[in-house]
Amino acid sequence: MSLTYAIVVNGPVYGSQTSRSAYQFAQALIEDGHKLQRVFFYQDGVLNGSALTAPASDEFDLVAAWQQLGRTHQVELQTCVAAALRRGIVGEQEAEQNQLGSANLADGFEQAGLGGLAEVMLTADRVIQF
């Protein structure tokens, strides 16, 4: 039986295992034939959406991995806009609204309110939080 999943990521892109574990879980559920509808990045998890991360060449690039997962499997990658703005992760629209010089939200990510999280919690069969 195939289920629809949503994942909520609260951990930062680097500095803990949380985000990497969420990514590995996402890969595993897709490989098992389930549908991953959305990954919602909340609290420090919004740092996964930064276009300004530059891991060493011998380290795993988790931001690029999320982007590839989103493109390949049509998974929505949403960052909480309020949490992102507090942590300096800014999309084009927010940069313009707040009169900031530039945006740094990575390609493939979008910013959404908590309504995006509430909606996916109502429509997914399972919601897993990391």
Residue bearing tokens 């988790």: 62
- The CA distance from 38 to 120, in Å, is 7
Q: Which two tokens stand for residue 73?
A: 């499997």
Q: Catalytic: 129?
A: no
- The CA distance from 124 to 127, in Å, is 7
Instruction: Please report the sign of the dihedral spanned by the C-alpha atoms of residue 24, residue 70, residue 53, residue 100.
Output: negative
Of the residues 6, 36, 75, 80, which is catalytic? 80
- The residues annotated as belonging to the active site are 80
